[in-house]
Amino acid sequence: MAKKETNTKLEITICDIKGIDSINIESLIRVIRGQQVMLDSDLAMLYGVETKALNQAVKRNIKRFPEDFMFQLTQDEAVRLRSQFVTLNNDDALRSQIATLNEEELVLRSQIATSNKKDNPLRSQFVTSNGRGGNRYLPYAFTRNGIAMLSSVLRSDTAVEVNIRIMRAFTMIPQLVNHNTQIVQRIFNIEQHQIETDEKIGVILERIEGLSPKFLPEQVFPTGCIWDAWAYISDLVRSARQRIVLIDNFVDDRVLSMLTKRANGVSATIHTRYNEQFLTDLQKHNSQYPEIKFIQLSHRNHDRFLIIDDKVYLLGASLKDMGAGLCAITEMSIAPAVILGLLK
């Protein structure tokens, strides 16, 4: 008994040639891997079949579709293609040049995809990809040769006519379309490189921050470590985001210079004893720089305190003399309000 030949062709059940005339086929031609191609979902829409059915017909005849006829997009290419589509639709000039779909074409797509739904519930991937979940597979791209080969796989005279119109679109498509598409792709590549560069810079900054010295809860400075103590206090001042309060019996213009290192909007207050020279220096400072408030201490205090936002630091020496002799800076667990309350 003779073996029955397997049917390798796909029957075309929906294909409105007049409707196809209303679609700008040139707008469906894309440039991927330097080649003009059309996606399986767009071809399925033109032929009036389901994308899955078209791909299955191709796979049954896979020997007719070598890599230069058809290839599957990578994940990166699919993401780039979607990004380019968004970019082109956000640019009025490119929209008119590359001829993205107008309202009539969108309506026609919907009509083709949903016509005869009861008898033949075919849906193009264009409709599916805009529903929940988006594309669930990587699309296939067909070159001009691959599209020409489709006419031998699709069982319909109208499929041949559709192919002829597609071939003409490939011939008539302006070179400007290719140039603009390539420009958009280059812009997208630049943006991708910029994102990658920003991410690398972020990693570098995180590593630098990790290697930077941290504010230890206790810091001791041997005699003569004047610069180390000054640098440490400077970093504390720069770290303030809301307020700086210094409680110190003896201050001078060096303290004022230190407080100029604070960020914009950070308030500064000094609780100290009355000193004519200091008040003169403070007046001159406040005439040029953000104000530093002065509050007269009602009594002499033995210890010195530095309040940075909500943290309290006990200073082993006056701020202006830190590092001149053996001294320490200790972060306290007490609340600033307690210290400030004891001053009254």
What pLDDT digit, counting tens, does each position of 158-202 carry?
677 888 888 888 776 655 455 566 676 777 778 778 888 888 888
209: pLDDT strictly greater than 50? yes
What does pTM read for this prediction?
Answer: 0.40
Query: What is the per-residue pLDDT for 106?
Result: 44
220: pLDDT strictly greater than 50? yes
pLDDT tens-digit profile of 230-253? 989 999 999 999 999 999 988 999
**Neighbouring residues of 49: CB distance < 8 A, sequence distance ≥ 6:** 10, 12, 13, 14, 122, 154
Measured CA to CA, the distance from residue 161 to residue 149 in angstroms comes to 13
**Neighbouring residues of 113: CB distance < 8 A, sequence distance ≥ 6:** 45, 122, 123, 124, 126, 127
Rounded average pLDDT over 198-209: 77
Residue that is written with structure tokens 């019996």 in the block: 249
